[in-house]
Amino acid sequence: MTAKTDTVYNYYTLSNGIRIVHRHSDSAVAHLGITIDAGSRDEKPYENGMAHFIEHCIFKGTATKPYYRILSRIDGVGGELNAYTTKEETVVYATFLTPYYNRAAELLCDIVFNSTFPEKELEKEKSVVIDEINSYEDSPAELIYDAFEQLVFARTGLGRMILGTQDKVKSFTSSMIKDFIARNWFTNKMVISTVGDIPFDKFVRLAEKYFTHIPAKLTQKKRHSVYHYEPRHKHENRDTYQAHVMIGNICYSYRNPKRTAFSLLNNILGSNAMNSALNMHIREKYGNTYNIESSYTAYLDSGIFQIYAGCEDHFSEKIVQLIIKELKYFTDKRLPQSSLTRGKQQLKGQLAIQYDSNQNEMLSIGKALLNYNRVSSLEENFKEIDKVTSKDILEVANEIFIPDKLSSIIYH
């Protein structure tokens, strides 16, 4: 296959459809990952939690390695092996010293494509995942995020909890795992991403050595949820010391051209920076909440916008009113140019800091190539942010922040 290079990143597609993206770095530490276009939204109802369970179980043995050799292969030379699952992706990655590129590539290929999922090891890992579920249930400030998506996306795949339920996890078998993989893991829906001190042509040879023997398994399958959103509200007594409040709405997909404008608006409203509007105008002004922030997650065909606040129970209704008042500010008039300029500078700085971590960049470019078939440079992202106008901000605010369109969950 033909290699391709832009100003920052190098690209290559193996004969079996697996794509590669690479950026050279002079660091002594290298990062390598495989992003697979399959997550919890691809599960059937009886499989809820399967994608996350597979993420755990790919470390439990392959045709050539028992679990203890897998766990020592990278960690034993001072590196780290890890994985995570989202609604739409499964990611397996390693961080290691540059001389161990060969070892990392061989290991990632082995666990992704040759895991055997022995039943004995699965039974042990079920207990681990159930403990993780219990821990999550004990953390309402984390649980409320997934519960809100469950409320908003109702019975669609996006509404499923990534961890699943204890009963579902207990029912999983090796054959069920292999069936899920057969239905959802395709070579043209996988990306190998790397940031490290290795010439691109050398890495291509390395990838061909370990990955070209994998048979091509191609698909044109596209996700789509037929879904009509209606605002929903839920109060739940969880016997916690503080109330947990979540307010939000469905939002733009990652392919929607309004995504950049709303990302900027969300950052101005409630990023984790101390000068966000929510933090300044609610936490600092009234002192009724310890933590208040907003978030925006984009998916293939939808997205979600959420505002979270933790407070004493008797302040919860006041917090809701203050949040609605803050949202109204953005829907009533255009953002002053000075505020827009500051917001752009802040978002660009945060993106630059995020990309200053080579590991974060490796994970980000893998997802970007999977979703867009190219990776935007930091400078390109800056230009897209600079294009956003006050009119754009006002338009997206009036589409997403309307009170009648908002859903809510409050844990008392």
Domain match, 237 and 201 both: no
How far is residue 134's CA from residue 79's CA, in Å, rounded to a whole number? 29
Instruction: Mention every residue, 6+ apart, whose C-beta is less than 8 A from residue 14.
Output: 1, 20, 187, 207, 208, 211, 212
Residue 241 has a pLDDT of 84
Question: How does pLDDT run across 146-178, given as a tens digit for each residue?
Answer: 999 999 998 899 999 999 999 999 999 999 999
Question: How does pLDDT run across 308-342, given as a tens digit for each residue?
Answer: 999 998 899 999 999 999 999 999 999 999 999 99
Helix (H) or strand (E) holding 306: strand 303-311
Other CB atoms within a 10 A radius of the CB of residue 167 amount to 10
Average pLDDT, stretch 29-44?
97
- Could you tell me the residue range of the domain that residue 125 belongs to? 4-211
Domain match, 240 and 190 both: no
Domain match, 140 and 53 both: yes
SS3 384: helix
CA distances from 183 to 179, 186, 369 (A): 6, 8, 22
How far is residue 410's CA from residue 364's CA, in Å, rounded to a whole number? 33
Last residue of a domain, one of 180, 211, 242: 211
Reading the block at residue 380, the tokens are: 């390109």
* pTM over 0.85, yes/no: yes
Reading the block at residue 158, the tokens are: 């996006």
Other CB atoms within a 10 A radius of the CB of residue 394 amount to 18
Domain match, 277 and 156 both: no
Whether 223 maps to a domain, the answer reads no
Residue 88 has a pLDDT of 96
User: Which letter does DSSP use for residue 376 in this model?
Assistant: -
CATH code of the domain containing 349? 3.30.830.10
Q: What is the mean pLDDT of the chain?
A: 95
User: Is residue 257 predicted with pLDDT exceeding 60?
Assistant: yes
